[in-house]
Structure 1
Amino acid sequence: MKIRRNRSVYDKKIIITGASKGIGREIAKEIAAQGGIPILVARSTELLEELAEEIEVNNGICKIYPIETFSREAIAEQINTMMEKEERIHGLINNAGFGIFDSIEDLNIEDVEEMFQVNVLAGIQYAKGFLPHFLQFKGKSHIINIVSQSAKLPTPKTAGYAASKHAMLGFTNVLRQETRESSLTVTSVNLGPVKTSFFEVADKNGEYQQNVEKYMLKPEKIASKVVHSLFTNKREINMPWWMEAGSIFYRLFPGLMEKMLKSQFDKK
């Protein structure tokens, strides 16, 4: 795939959470290919080391910071370590997250708590932790939060997941407003279904994945778009475009949309 060049990425240190696979892995590779320095965060040391080796074989540079769990204490310790070791960090991409699709009747509250910890609270803690660092420099900094179209267009069996992503989108919009006079850019990336291992956990019987397979986004395409937007004044990235159009219509005509698209919404 042809690399879309973003010269602003060159020699910039950019943290990516959930970097060991899927979208995060592709973003890390794309940043390295453009001369940036991805700082890789994930729970699997083995997968991070494999990715680091791949990046270095291709003449890229990266750093890895494994984390055992995305708990408040572990994240606080990791942020302190990064701040001590890295003189200047330029960007943060909050990508770590997971989903579980269940009806509310069958929902496990412990699963919901974990989704909120990883999908929302961890991202908020990373953003808050690095915010003073970003604001103290005159050069451009960037926080990108990988959210979901579920934040805008919730469907059956996504109660816990959609609620967590809705919360993260709300946080992102507030962070953008509070820092609008600074050199920090804040971007949300709102995605439809992506062809990654996400569905191994979210959709264990594979039914939803099978139903939407032809619509699934490729992580490489997402990575290209995200990295191309780094250090530009991009408010949102919405993919695919037709799902974003659907979310706009849903906000305007929710009852009508739920009635018209019932069969589509029920594909989980």
Structure 2
Amino acid sequence: MELKGKIAAITGASGGIGEQLARLLVKEGATVVLLARREEELMRVRQEIGSACYVYKLDVSDEKMVADVFARISQEVGDVDILVNNAGFGIFKTFEEASLQEVKAMFSVNVFGLVACTKAVLPAMKKRSSGHIVNIASLAGKIATPKSSAYSATKHAVLAFSNSLRMELAISGIYVTAVNPGPIRTDFFNIADKSGTYVKSVERYMLRPEYVAACIVKAIKRNKREINLPRWMSVGPLMFALLPRVFEKLAGTALNKK
């Protein structure tokens, strides 16, 4: 895909992957729509990037707000060519410790928010027979780990949704990319891992958001169906699929360090 002149909407664009992705897409000549709940942070990002950015406050868990905001984007900026469903959060607790409210909140943002945003842009993409939807999932969606039962479940759902949608749109000219990163050095862990235990155990393996964003831009250009980051971590899901009992026995202790 040629990115110059395209309109790219990014949820969760107030920091981390979303912010870095916005910076790269603007350099590629795209017009970027920044979406997040923290409007003041969106304004900071726009000020730093320049005039090729539009800012809209959005809580993806609010279905009506999603519909209204994307309708405004279509009228005020234009139809979205690239949607990056990046908004999401996790809470690392055992299932027993996690409240039902926390579980519902993760599904509301990570799954139903992603679905609502996709629903909002898909009709116009189908009319034009072109578009690209990028869903930020996680390697946690391929390997469920201790203390992240609900979070892993949301990312399993994102992967299943992405795979099914990709097949439904196979001859439509619309592409769907699933991105499965490992741990990334962002504010995500301020909520997910308040104790700091998990961060300490995986700090040496943590990805930089700039690197992840660059990989996503390449995937959009090449219409890739899925990317796993870092690549060596994709060995884990393969081992889990082939030898689940052995994997759980060998890796269980390490994966429990959250």
Q: Does TM, scored on the shorter chain, surpass 0.5?
A: yes
Runs of 4+ in 1 over 6 A off after TM superposition: none
Q: Which residue of 1 aligns with 2:29?
A: 35
Deviation at 1:33, TM superposition (A): 1.5
Match of 2:38 among 26, 35, 44: 44
* Per-residue deviation, residues 42-66 of structure 1 (Å, max 9, x unmatched): 001100000000001xxx5111111
Aligned residues of 1:91 and 1:141 also touching (Cα < 8 A):
yes
Match of 1:197 among 187, 197, 210: 187
Amino acid at match of 1:117: S
Amino acid at match of 2:24: E
TM-score (structure 2 length as normaliser) = 0.97
Q: Which residue of 2 aligns with 1:9?
A: 3
Match of 2:47 among 44, 53, 56: 53
Deviation at 1:69, TM superposition (A): 6.0
Deviation at 1:231, TM superposition (A): 4.2
Is 1:225 matched up with 2:215?
A: yes
In the TM superposition, 1:136-155 aligns within 5 A as 136-138=127-129, 140-155=130-145
Please list every run of 5 or more consecutive structure 2 residues that lacks an aligned counterpart in the other structure.
Answer: none
Is 1:185 matched up with 2:178?
A: no
Deviation at 1:228, TM superposition (A): 1.8
CA distance in 2, matches of 1:194, 1:216: 5
SS class of match (2:96):
helix
Q: Which residue of 2 aligns with 1:160?
A: 150
Q: Which residue of 2 aligns with 1:206?
A: 196
Amino acid at match of 2:68: E
CA distance in 2, matches of 1:24, 1:70: 17
Amino acid at match of 1:85: E
Amino acid at match of 2:204: K
CA distance in 1, matches of 2:28, 2:6: 10
SS class of match (2:128):
coil
Aligned residues of 1:90 and 1:134 also touching (Cα < 8 A):
yes
SS class of match (2:2):
helix
TM-score (structure 1 length as normaliser) = 0.93
Q: Which residue of 2 aligns with 1:4?
A: none
Amino acid at match of 1:137: R
Match of 2:104 among 105, 110, 113: 113
SS class of match (1:9):
coil
Compared CA separation, residues 179 and 211, structure 1 to 2 (3 A): same
CA-based RMSD of the aligned residues comes to: 1.3
* Per-residue deviation, residues 89-121 of structure 1 (Å, max 9, x unmatched): 211000000000001110111011110010000
Aligned residues of 1:190 and 1:237 also touching (Cα < 8 A):
yes
CA distance in 2, matches of 1:236, 1:218: 19
